[in-house]
Structure 1
């Protein structure tokens, strides 16, 4: 992990965070391919998967895992569904003001500085035609939630220095498992139909409805 940028770099870090915030606010819709790596600490295992993700504000998310096994994650902004065909099972939960995954947060509307303690760990380099950094190097920022989140303890973003697109997300969950996702083929601003963010459980599937935080507290 990188360390926070030196004190002398604070103005540069503030400018970078401000640019990322403006990009975040301006991005209404996004779709991309992804590769994901999960380190399961309790099992001592690492799994890898591939798929496609769609985000549309406010709060709409669709993640299709294609390899090695199919799984679907869908949110319409109010509810979140996780469908695992292999188990013939659907997990349904409410989307609260505390996002259950980084993807729900990224599809929302918020102020990065208000929601997180944001630090720049590494300043990136734009791609060059020649030299060691021909492919470029992303900015890397750490985001620690100011309020406890049910799905992640800390998140890192990798950001393209030229476009401020988020090209990667990494996060640690409450069980200290670590997930890394890298995006490719990123498309912004296209029209994504409502139907992609709607979900109906397959006939015969087991449906597990998770209690809302409010229900648990009563």
Structure 2
């Protein structure tokens, strides 16, 4: 099985407090996006890798599945190009999702199968790509309306942002992101602590990141997949990521 990623205003006299909260929301949103922007900035995040744990709730089965592994992402070097990524699930079952920016491979060694499909062109994947948010964190406002999560901070004090797609999505109803409080306070680091993807049918998936490493310049070969001998290659008519 493939692992699968409102405030009420009371009265005019409270408007000053509302403006203060809005400014804080903008500060947190900017802290999340800024490290992935500004091509020439010396501390821009060009690539990252981290361990992750995943908890997926399947609404139709009322069942929770857990997994863990490692992710490596090389962000798009310029507008018009695509990010490269490698999601490697280690537990409970080895699986691999790899893209070199033009092709996506989803490899299931237990079944000795790999699904191969073209990567949707920039601007066509949208929020139908459940991984798109992770490779485009510098441009969230282009695809999402951003408000506070509820509650606004995690028990550890990290900030929580709720993102709703501006366009209808077949896979993603809303997205809850947890932003590192240290990054919001001005420290350098990877800003995303966790993400919860809410899908149709009550499905939701929470991914938590740990031990991130930034700008390690991972080898290009990590983002290409060559099927082992005896592997069946499946090429569905519709791309695996919402093409």
User: Which string of whole-angstrom CA distances, capped at 9 and with x for unpartnered residues, describes residues 110-166 of structure 1?
Assistant: 5211211111224448xxxxxxx7xx3211111112123444232111110112510
**Hey, what does 1:143 align to over in structure 2?**
163
**Hey, what does 1:130 align to over in structure 2?**
none
SS in 1 for 2:182: coil
5+ residue gaps, structure 2: 1-5, 10-17, 38-43, 77-82, 185-190
Question: Per-residue deviation at 1:210?
Answer: 2.3
CA gap 1:39/1:139 in 2 versus in 1, 3 angstroms: same
**Equivalent pairs, count:** 204
CA contact (8 A) 2:34 2:138 kept: no
**Hey, what does 1:37 align to over in structure 2?**
55
Rounded to whole Å, the distance in 2 between the matches of 1:32 and 1:84 is 21
Q: 4+ residue runs of structure 1 moved beyond 4 angstroms?
A: 3-6
Question: Per-residue deviation at 1:212?
Answer: 4.0
CA gap 1:143/1:60 in 2 versus in 1, 3 angstroms: same
SS in 2 for 1:196: helix
Residue 100 of structure 2 is aligned to residue 76 of structure 1: yes
CA gap 1:152/1:94 in 2 versus in 1, 3 angstroms: farther
How big is the alpha-carbon RMSD for the aligned residues of Structure 1 and Structure 2?
2.5
User: Which string of whole-angstrom CA distances, capped at 9 and with x for unpartnered residues, describes residues 32-55 of structure 1?
Assistant: 001110101111211111100001
TM-score, normalization by structure 1: 0.83
CA contact (8 A) 2:194 2:208 kept: yes
Residue 143 of structure 2 is aligned to residue 115 of structure 1: yes
Say which of 84, 91, 95 aligns to 2:119: 95
CA contact (8 A) 1:98 1:150 kept: no
SS in 2 for 1:22: helix
CA gap 1:114/1:171 in 2 versus in 1, 3 angstroms: same
CA contact (8 A) 2:35 2:138 kept: no
5+ residue gaps, structure 1: 126-132
CA contact (8 A) 1:102 1:155 kept: no
Residue 71 of structure 2 is aligned to residue 53 of structure 1: yes
Greater alpha carbon shift after TM alignment, 115-124 vs 81-90: 115-124
Residue 163 of structure 2 is aligned to residue 105 of structure 1: no
